[in-house]
Structure 1
Amino acid sequence: MSQQDVQQAARASSPAGAYVAAAVIVLEACWLIAALPGAALVSDIGGMLVAAWATAACVGVARRHPAPLRRFWMLLAATMALAALGRALWTAQRLVGDDLPHTPLVGAIFTAGIFTGTAALLNSPSGPRTAVGRARTLLDGVIVALALVPISWVLVFRGVAAAELADPARTLGLLYPIFDLMQLTILVAVAGPVRPLWRPMGVLAASLTIRVVADAVYVSLVARGDYVAGHPIDLCWPLSYLLIGLATRNPPPPDCDRTDETAESPLPPWWRVALPYLPVGGAIVAVILARRPSGQIPQLIFLTMMALLAALAVRQGLAANENLRLVVRLRRLAYADQLTSLPNRLLFNRRLRLALRDGRPVAVLLLDLDGFKQVNDRFGHATGDTLLTGLAVRMRAAVGDDGTIARVGGDEFGVLVNGDRPVSPERLAERLLDALRPSDGEEDVGVHPSASIGIAEYGPQHTSHTDLLRDADIAMYAAKAAGKSAYRTCTPALRESAVSRAELIADLRRAVGEGQLHLEFQPIVDLATGAVRSAEALVRWRHPRLGVLSPARFLPLAEETGLIVPIDRWVIHEACRAAATWRDRAPEATVAVNISAAHLHRPDLIATVTAATSAAGLAPRALTLELTESALIDGTDAVLERLSQLRDLGIRIAIDDFGTGYSSLSYLHRIPATELKIDRSFVARLGSDDRAHATVEMVTRLAGAFDLAVVAEGVETERQHEAVTAIGCPRGQGYLYGRPDAAATVGQNRA
């Protein structure tokens, strides 16, 4: 049965029975208030009828609701059945002459109802999920009940004759309000603000509250000798039964099938933690007030306080046990990776420090999965997590007892090898690489990434565990540079190269601010006329110590470190200023600037470009942004929208190195390009490779069909010039027409 069906069935269940039960209470109220003859019998019969209806309602809803709720409703049904049975025996014994028949049998039946009602609360949807939790919650209610006994003695029981208190059944009847408060305490504990309140729990709370009031008033009247059967207070009991029956008309909670006991819950409020202890202070004061003039404490109060101390001791023992379990769990969470169950970085570093402190031979392997980001991008993080879990199992099996493997990062793992080292680190790396290779029948591309492994062995050059990890990291990047799916051991040469690289990155951070960058311009020639109408801006770095560095030397570092964005901004502004000076001799001259993929994904690209053209006084159509195919093909809808906005402003968009990426007709339809630059690898083979000739010719015709300008890159010989001209390519760029130079030749003709 679906959740919607259960809700409809709950709302439609036995409305006639509810109306009849309500009518019985209304009739009883009129009878008792009017003090008509037989009020006591009417009161007893009304209570029995409503309790019987509530029993049937609970049994009916137990059959309709999901399995996790059946025990809850059946326990409530048993509670109502015991209430009806107790009422029947009470009535029978009262009719034979006992005005207040607190007999052992009646007391046992009502007490059994208290047990089943308490069990129902503990098995409610919002109740504790573990046996320890149920025991702790039950003890909270018991502590409150025991603490209320001395308080009740001072407020009520002192007025009860000693002979009456000597009767156990009668004394038990006088303790019913305390039992009610125990149940109310348990209900507050299980249905407090820690979890969303299920509506029936609120109705049950109202029912219990009415019973607390009814039993408290009843005890007070009995203590003063003012109670007579058929008193208006008798209305409260059937009213509490009616509320329990009405609670069955609510649908089950949407998560009643939840079985996850490890789900994280909000922290309880302070008053929920203090709830069982709040009445204890009042109990201590009540004990002092209950002392007789002789200094003796009544036996009932003494025994109650002993029981209270025992309950508090057990409660604290459970709390201490729970705290120990929590400490164990927190330690496990602190030192274990939650996805793979491997040790995490914290535990890995701790064991590494301990191994170094013992002076044993130590080696570290750092393993980074190659291409794992593409798995997440293509298939989603859920698939990536599944892949990581499977690879972790493989790597754990490959390492075995020869080392400790840990997950130290997102797709980065570490292996600690210490002690006698029965297996060399290199052999262990080979085993790991073998374990990561896909087996027969498994997909190889995009689903099983390879790995790059760096190895570092502890030696005199290391002063701490961080030095050892740094060397392993250096070796790992060397393995990546060697083609991935490989391992490398850190050597002094690698370490020196890494230090030089770090120094170069530090110098690069200062290069823009200190004016060390400058631009050179390579002309783009109109092949029909030989006129230079455009130039590509190329950045160079005048390093104070190393001299002039080409882009290939420092731009990859800039992309890795994020420095490419400020460099791009500087290039755009400087290129626009230079192009503005060409306009006097060549009004139609344009300048081309390369844009990195990182800058393309930034939302402030448009603001950067418009600010640069505006500051230089350059028309937007005089600026061309060159982007590689790989940067464009990975572009999101937001990137394509950004390019469209630039195109609408008049900025020209060129696809650089065309033909080397993922060219397709749909790709050209999506990107608002104005120009294609044929990659130099095709131009270099013109005259010796018919396929290259066909490719250049095809791209030229394709560009014409899409109304795109074409530039042939890398023209270095007259033969190549003649070939691209014969094909019909309108413009060319290369060393034949001019090398990059600080002095722009825009507006001049090719010599």
Structure 2
Amino acid sequence: MLPQDVSRAVVAPARPIPSGRVGLVAAALVVLGEAGWLAAGLPGAAEVSDLGAVALAAWAAFACLRVARRHPVALRRFWTLLAATMALAALGRVLWMVERLGGRELPHTPLIGGLFTAGIVTGTAALLCSLAAPRSLVGQARTLLDGVIVALALIPIGWVVVFRDLAAAELTDPLRTWGLLYPMFDLMQLTILVAVAGPSRPMWRAWAVIGASLATRAAADTAYVSLVAHGSYTSGHPIDVCWPLSYLLIGAATRYPPPAGSDGAEETTESPLPPWWRVALPYLPVGGAIVAVALSRRPTGQTPHLIFLCMMALLGVLALRQGLAANENLRLVARLRRLAYSDQLTGLPNRLTFTRRLRRALRDEAPVAVLLLDLDGFKQVNDRFGHVTGDRLLTTIAERMRDATADDGMIARLGGDEFAVLVDGDRPVSPERLAERLLAALEPLPGEEDLGLNPSASIGIAEYGPQHASHTDLLRDADIAMYAAKAAGKSAYRTCTPALRESAVTRAELIAELRRAVDEGQLCVEYQPIVDLATGTVRSAEALVRWRHPRLGVLPPAAFLPLAEETGLIVPIDRWVLHEACRAAAAWRERAPQVTVAVNLAAAHLRRPDLIATVIAATAGAGLPPRALTLELTESALIEGSDAVLDRLRQLRELGIRLAIDDFGTGYSSLSYLHHIPATELKVDRSFVARLGAEDVRAYATVEMVNRLAAAFDLAVVAEGVETDAQHAAVTAIGCVHGQGWRYGRPAALPELLTALTPVDATR
């Protein structure tokens, strides 16, 4: 009979909310005092009951109104509606008390009933407007119907439970029958509360308090209707304390702030999937209602009018709910189709759509061409500016390419920074002309050059021909041409030719054979001496891997190591070379204890957390002192290193491992990184040394500058690629400490190196 109170889990600012602790304690004392008064049966119990309910409802209304002012609009609306619900409860109870004092024991007047009904409406509206509630009108209607279904289904059950021992003549009083609607409305709101709060994340503790308020009200209304139906209720009954208690819980719920980090803003993430019980919740009581209808039939075979009307209403609401469910299913199917066939970031067709269109075009036997685009330098944009900026750039690029393609083809995003254009039918423009338009569309606009956000594209073109058995063959050829365009430089396009196709096949075969080479022991290591330029003594030897190919013969590193880096095979290859070199160095140090070994490591090793363990295992397993091992690393690999990479390099130096910067001068050559990298030597690239013999003044100055720079950082210098006496004389005059090249010895197997471990005449 009293208004229903409801609440919902909301998100709002996480700032602290004043507790109103004094008011809450006072309200709790009022409830405890009323409970004691009514339980003891003291005089004036009816007046105490009415005054307690009015006071608690008014206090709860004030508490809700006060907290509403401290929240954003959406949350403020929720608390304001709850305040209205409590105010209606207080007003209805005041009129109840006035009517009762006027001589009516149970004053169920239309006005009082209207106030209580209005409270039900505002309470339900509060739940449905909460931030955790569905945003759409359809979703809100579905949630409301779920509550109505539960309420209507429980009415027959309540009839059997409450009125099972009453004669038909005693049920003619409308209060005894229609009063059963009050607890059903409570349960309707409780169902809505569970539906709204169930999927919300994170959970708001106020939900549990408000749910307890509704459960208390439902129990009180059920007991009240049963007592009235059996003629045993009088004002001031101990059950009356339950309504003030429910109001107390509403006021207590205002003390819980929303979860931290919630600001009331529109959520952009997907709502969590509801649990199975949430989906089945509105239908669970229906089976019980059917049984209750059978049990409620009178001896005459008639069904009570209230039960009949409720069941008819239940059928109508179920039909409406199923209609909404069907509508949502249709919308979901449409959304799933959009998700399945379009790219969510750019709005372009995705790989699935592109493949289907391509296969259909091939079935129609129309002229077909595919343009495959891959953005150059897009990874650097993500690394430098972050993925949010990268996504924004992809969206802009997609719009430009869509405009450039126009109606001459279908452009799709295949994934990442890869796009494709399908040109079929009459082809009003040639694929090459379309590629030029796409490249022009990606050129930076005025002012964009300085932003660093203007990646170009490499485009591969493949036209359908007799060599293409399927769409995969066509895409493969476009991919081959695209990699050829990348090799030709940025902002370029290439058309797949038989020569390109044959080269790609050869490359693929070589990669497959390289995988077997690692397992079948086809790799070997040769060693090239590194000498002291002043004495000619061999000070170290660089380990260089060779591939004894069963068909192509011995292949140098340049013929297969780039493929190994692309495929990830470089890691096991380098690890094998490291172990072989350490074992070889341990063997030759028995003859020449001062000679160390140098091993090249690819950049991929620096990013591996097991780098230190790998090096320790190689040296310890061979019995080689760590100081006898030098790891050679390229400039670019070192400069791109993160803090974790630098930390690993420092750990290697602490172990005694020496670190050399290989091919110095061909990478970034930034002076700043020398302050951070714990290197021990620089290896001057052979391209500079090669020009010394021709008395190239610039080359001489470059090598001399590197030598001085190394001295400033206390680094040793190794001149690579020394082949002639003139080059030897030049690097010696410049002051380089060590030299390496054919002038001092070609790469050779370990037995041949052992014979070279004697001083070399530096003046010969």
Q: Deviations over 1:338-361 (max 9, x none)?
A: 222222212221222222222222
Matched, 1:706 2:717: no
Equivalent position to 1:146, from 152, 172, 193: 152
Change (3 A) 1:284 1:710: same
Matched, 1:693 2:700: yes
Aligned counterpart, 2:319: 313
Aligned counterpart, 2:435: 429
Change (3 A) 1:55 1:560: same
Q: Deviations over 1:79-132 (max 9, x none)?
A: 122212222222222223221121222222211111111111222332222211
Aligned counterpart, 1:683: 689
Q: In 2, distance between residues paired with 1:195 and 1:661?
A: 50
Letter of the aligned partner of 1:573 in structure 2? H
Would the aligned equivalents of 1:700 and 1:728 in 2 still touch at CA under 8 Å? yes
Q: In 2, distance between residues paired with 1:25 and 1:655?
A: 81
Would the aligned equivalents of 2:13 and 2:261 in 1 still touch at CA under 8 Å? no
Would the aligned equivalents of 1:620 and 1:651 in 2 still touch at CA under 8 Å? yes
Q: Deviations over 1:477-524 (max 9, x none)?
A: 011111131011111111111101111111111223333222333222
Displacement after TM superposition at 1:474 (Å): 0.4
Would the aligned equivalents of 1:129 and 1:261 in 2 still touch at CA under 8 Å? no
Aligned counterpart, 2:423: 417
Change (3 A) 1:639 1:45: closer
Would the aligned equivalents of 1:6 and 1:65 in 2 still touch at CA under 8 Å? no
Letter of the aligned partner of 2:714 in structure 1? D
Equivalent position to 2:677, from 648, 671, 677: 671
Alignment of 1:211-290 (within 5 A): 211-254=217-260, 257-260=263-266, 263-290=269-296
Equivalent position to 2:208, from 202, 207, 230: 202
Q: In 2, distance between residues paired with 1:324 and 1:375?
A: 40
Equivalent position to 1:472, from 464, 472, 478: 478
Q: Deviations over 1:296-348 (max 9, x none)?
A: 22222222111111111111111111122112212212222222222221222
Alignment of 1:580-619 (within 5 A): 580-619=586-625
Alignment of 1:697-736 (within 5 A): 697-736=704-743
Matched, 1:134 2:140: yes
Aligned counterpart, 2:744: 737
Change (3 A) 1:494 1:147: same
Letter of the aligned partner of 2:375 in structure 1? L
Aligned counterpart, 1:42: 48
Higher deviation after alignment, 290-299 or 106-115: 290-299
Equivalent position to 1:87, from 85, 93, 96: 93
Q: Deviations over 1:505-556 (max 9, x none)?
A: 1111122333322233322232222233332222222222122222221111
Q: In 1, distance between residues paired with 2:245 and 2:615?
A: 77
Higher deviation after alignment, 223-232 or 591-600: 591-600
Q: Deviations over 1:565-588 (max 9, x none)?
A: 222122223333333443354331
Displacement after TM superposition at 1:725 (Å): 1.6
Letter of the aligned partner of 2:120 in structure 1? I
Would the aligned equivalents of 1:69 and 1:256 in 2 still touch at CA under 8 Å? no
Letter of the aligned partner of 1:228 in structure 2? T
Q: In 1, distance between residues paired with 2:327 and 2:268?
A: 17
Q: In 2, distance between residues paired with 1:247 and 1:643?
A: 57
Q: Equivalent residue of 2:406, what SS?
A: helix
Aligned counterpart, 2:560: 554
Would the aligned equivalents of 1:335 and 1:347 in 2 still touch at CA under 8 Å? yes
Q: Deviations over 1:379-414 (max 9, x none)?
A: 222222222121111111111222111111211111
Matched, 1:357 2:363: yes
Q: In 1, distance between residues paired with 2:113 and 2:672?
A: 85
Higher deviation after alignment, 544-553 or 440-449: 440-449
Displacement after TM superposition at 1:445 (Å): 7.5
Aligned counterpart, 1:627: 633
Aligned counterpart, 1:528: 534
Q: In 2, distance between residues paired with 1:256 and 1:576?
A: 59
Higher deviation after alignment, 184-193 or 277-286: 184-193
Q: In 2, distance between residues paired with 1:561 and 1:318?
A: 53
Higher deviation after alignment, 530-539 or 630-639: 530-539
Query: What is the aligned-residue identity percentage?
Result: 76
Q: In 2, distance between residues paired with 1:178 and 1:253?
A: 31
Letter of the aligned partner of 2:726 in structure 1? R
Q: In 2, distance between residues paired with 1:236 and 1:354?
A: 71
Alignment of 1:532-543 (within 5 A): 532-543=538-549
Aligned counterpart, 1:749: 760
Q: In 2, distance between residues paired with 1:527 and 1:22?
A: 95
Would the aligned equivalents of 1:535 and 1:592 in 2 still touch at CA under 8 Å? yes
Matched, 1:400 2:406: yes
Displacement after TM superposition at 1:261 (Å): 5.3
Higher deviation after alignment, 524-533 or 416-425: 524-533
Higher deviation after alignment, 115-124 or 518-527: 518-527
Q: In 2, distance between residues paired with 1:234 and 1:176?
A: 15
Change (3 A) 1:196 1:515: closer
Would the aligned equivalents of 2:13 and 2:260 in 1 still touch at CA under 8 Å? no
Would the aligned equivalents of 1:425 and 1:455 in 2 still touch at CA under 8 Å? yes
Aligned counterpart, 2:351: 345
Aligned counterpart, 1:453: 459
Q: Equivalent residue of 1:156, what SS?
A: helix
Displacement after TM superposition at 1:362 (Å): 1.5
Displacement after TM superposition at 1:71 (Å): 1.5
Equivalent position to 1:7, from 16, 25, 31: 16
Alignment of 1:492-507 (within 5 A): 492-507=498-513
Change (3 A) 1:24 1:432: same
Q: In 1, distance between residues paired with 2:89 and 2:78?
A: 17
Instruction: Work out the number of aligned pairs and report it.
Output: 747
Aligned counterpart, 1:75: 81
Would the aligned equivalents of 1:533 and 1:586 in 2 still touch at CA under 8 Å? no
Would the aligned equivalents of 1:371 and 1:446 in 2 still touch at CA under 8 Å? no
Change (3 A) 1:749 1:26: closer
Change (3 A) 1:253 1:737: closer
Q: In 2, distance between residues paired with 1:31 and 1:192?
A: 38
Q: TM-score, normalised by structure 2?
A: 0.93
Change (3 A) 1:661 1:157: same
Equivalent position to 2:514, from 493, 508, 511: 508
Q: Deviations over 1:624-673 (max 9, x none)?
A: 22211111111222222222232233322221112222334432232222
Q: In 2, distance between residues paired with 1:635 and 1:197?
A: 42
Q: Deviations over 1:663-722 (max 9, x none)?
A: 344322322222211122222222533232222222223323333222212222222222
Q: In 1, distance between residues paired with 2:220 and 2:155?
A: 17
Change (3 A) 1:622 1:251: closer
Higher deviation after alignment, 665-674 or 624-633: 665-674
Q: Mind listing any 5+ residue stretches in structure 2 that lack a counterpart?
A: 1-10
Would the aligned equivalents of 1:585 and 1:747 in 2 still touch at CA under 8 Å? no
Aligned counterpart, 1:570: 576
Aligned counterpart, 2:5: none
Letter of the aligned partner of 2:688 in structure 1? F
Would the aligned equivalents of 1:534 and 1:591 in 2 still touch at CA under 8 Å? yes
Q: In 1, distance between residues paired with 2:354 and 2:231?
A: 75
Change (3 A) 1:166 1:6: farther
Higher deviation after alignment, 537-546 or 259-268: 259-268
Q: In 2, distance between residues paired with 1:17 and 1:513?
A: 79
